[in-house]
Amino acid sequence: MENTVTNEMLREDSRALAEEIVRILDANKAGQLKLLRVNDRTVMTDYFVICTGNSNTHIKSLSGEVEYKLGEKGIAHTGVDGYESGIWIVMDYTTVMVHIFNREQRDFFKLEKLWADAEDIALDNIVTD
């Protein structure tokens, strides 16, 4: 299936951007992917993309791949935190915040529980098995 999402759509539509990030992470074997719509719960962003990496190297490569693939489309983050440690990397794309955890940090911080009242977007139509 050909990707019909244009670069302009990614720049202007936070949902399209969030879904593209989910596809990039899924293609690079991110685990436990979650997409939460939080725009009616906070003014800081519209969506959280949350996933788990298998190792510090995997976590850093997931972050690097998101940055690279979106950069090819002319989309840059406004900041990245946690890259040095590689246990929890947060990437800020203004309307989408990307959280890439190791298992221990994800279990400890439990963002899904903290944001339990956010809409959990089904990924069935976004990712492939």
DSSP annotation string for 28-40: TT-EEEEEEE-TT
- Which CATH topology does 7-120 take? Beta Polymerase; domain 2 (3.30.460)
User: What pLDDT is stored for residue 7 in this prediction?
Assistant: 66
Helical residues (DSSP H) of 13-72, grouped into ranges: 14-27, 56-72
Question: How many Å apart are CA 22 and CA 17, to the nearest integer?
Answer: 9
**pTM of the predicted model, to two decimals?**
0.91
pLDDT (0 to 100) of residue 79: 96
Domain ranges of the chain: 7-120
pLDDT score for 128: 75
| 3-state SS class at 68 | helix
Low-confidence ranges of the chain (pLDDT < 70): 1-11, 129
pLDDT tens digits, 3-12: 556 666 666 7
